[in-house]
Amino acid sequence: MMLTRLCTLTLVLGVGAFATTFGTNLIVNGDAESYTLVNPGVTFGVADFTDWTRTGHASYVNYPDFCCFHYVTDPGTEAFGAGYFLGGDQASSELTQSIFIGDQSALVDAGRVNFDMRGWLSSARQTATGAIDSVAFSVRFVDGLGNDLGGTGIASLDQAELTALGSPVTSQGYFQLSVSQGLVPAGTRSLDVALLFTRFNGTILNAAADNLGFQLIQTPEPGTFGLLLVALGVLFGIHCTFQSKKCTS
């Protein structure tokens, strides 16, 4: 009996340690500010980023850099730190992390949790002509048994999209804000997050990313506003009953 209670307490404490807060960024270190250089280079360095699992040579670069020249074109009120994620010097590289949201299972399964996903992504190429390197930021919704329930994602602009916006397609990269919003599928217990860089030109994977975010937003329970109006009507009726001289039709 004592062992059972201890195990139950451990489980409760473990879930509590991963409490999911609505309206806050669930991506850990989405701004690349926490890292350890594994192979420092002259222009960029392969890095292990805190709370990310790295495959390939995903790297860290400071603003401003003299390697890949990525610029933020229209930051608005967004705050940017000292540096950003860069693809590195291989054909592809990837950063991943998993986020537990099972403590909000009741609301998720009731269809009352939306998501807001956003990130600043930049396409670029090493040479003056040819295909541009890309980066994709994705989230897969996973149930308690590890089954994939679908996903969402955003990606850096391709050459046609950059041309349409009037942005020069050169070795310089221009960060653009991309956003995806929707409903978290019922049954979701965790999020598999991935940042995938792909090289199509030259020897440096020039695509970049910064300020990655994923928030959960709780929606009102159906009928909440209707019940509130009914309650206000009842209170007003009671008020009129006792203050009939002050009520007018």
pLDDT digits (tens, 9 = 90+) for 5-29: 333 333 333 444 458 999 999 999 9
CA angle 54, 59, 62 (to 5 degrees): 140
Pairing of strands 35-39, 45-49: antiparallel
Name the pLDDT band for 62 (thresholds 50, 70, 90).
confident
Contact status, residue 106 vs residue 152, Cβ threshold 8 Å = no
pLDDT for residue 229: 53
pLDDT for residue 221: 81
CA torsion sign for 45, 46, 50, 52 is positive
| Token reading at 212 | 């990655």
Going along the chain from its start, the domains and CATH numbers come out as 15-236 (2.60.120.260)
Average pLDDT for 128-142 = 88
Among 11-15, 33-37, 80-84, 153-157, name the one with the lowest average pLDDT: 11-15
Pick 243 or 221 by higher pLDDT.
221
Average pLDDT for 234-240 = 49
Average pLDDT for 136-146 = 98
Short-list 182, 211, 215, 217, CA closest to 77: 211
pLDDT for residue 112: 98
Strands of the sheet containing 134-142, edge to edge, are 53-55, 92-100, 190-198, 134-142, 148-155
pLDDT digits (tens, 9 = 90+) for 99-115: 999 999 999 999 999 99
- Runs of H (alpha helix) within the chain: 2-16, 105-109, 159-165, 224-242
pLDDT for residue 6: 37
Name the pLDDT band for 176 (thresholds 50, 70, 90).
confident
Cis peptide before 64 (omega within 30 of 0): yes
Among 18-22, 97-101, 206-210, 228-232, name the one with the lowest average pLDDT: 228-232
